[in-house]
Structure 1
């Protein structure tokens, strides 16, 4: 049986392209360039696959590695005009694109451990994106400089 990591790796371009289309149609604040829309999402997908691979090998999945990508994504989305709810929804759209792709490939049985790692990666990235987005917005409203990324 193919794993989530196998499917995401093989279909990463298709998943990404579907996500780009959904974000542009449903969540973007207007017409944005492909690089503006893509931002850190390809790197995020690679880190999710890496976390899933580590779990398959019986190692700690290291989902914390997606945190800095979420942090940077939150800032970038603030800068290009996304509102907070649409930024969170675009992560949901990516999650849906992954599950849609797996379903189309005939992959209906998932291991709980795989789903847990996938959800942990998304939750961590979303949390970091929201925290940073909110901090930048608050500082901008107060007329202060944005905080540095977490060290």
Structure 2
């Protein structure tokens, strides 16, 4: 059983990822993290409160716990893998942190915004024997 947490209570995670995850017996949903102000450059307290409300909506619909801050989710021993539905420009930073915390990573597309960053993440995942996967809708 792989215990998974979500970094960011995004709409795609709520509408698409969670219903699909509920159908997978190999995974157990643990919770969702909303960012601290320090983790979201330029965010106001009002922005963070909106994210916190979205996280509460996740808990009300799907259960699980709420992590205050993305970092707290990564540090949790309850989490084996993370799903990152963040904007693409943030994928590299948070995926690298997750891999360094020995977490498997599932990213929304595109994996990163540069080939070099993607190569680095692939190498880090391979070095640590971790899964790194990009989500995509169509193979062809």
Greater fraction of residues in strand: 2
- Between 1 and 2, higher relative CO (CA 8 Å, sep ≥ 6) is seen in 1
TM-score, normalised relative to structure 2: 0.30
Bigger radius of gyration, 1 or 2? 1
Greater fraction of residues in helix: 1
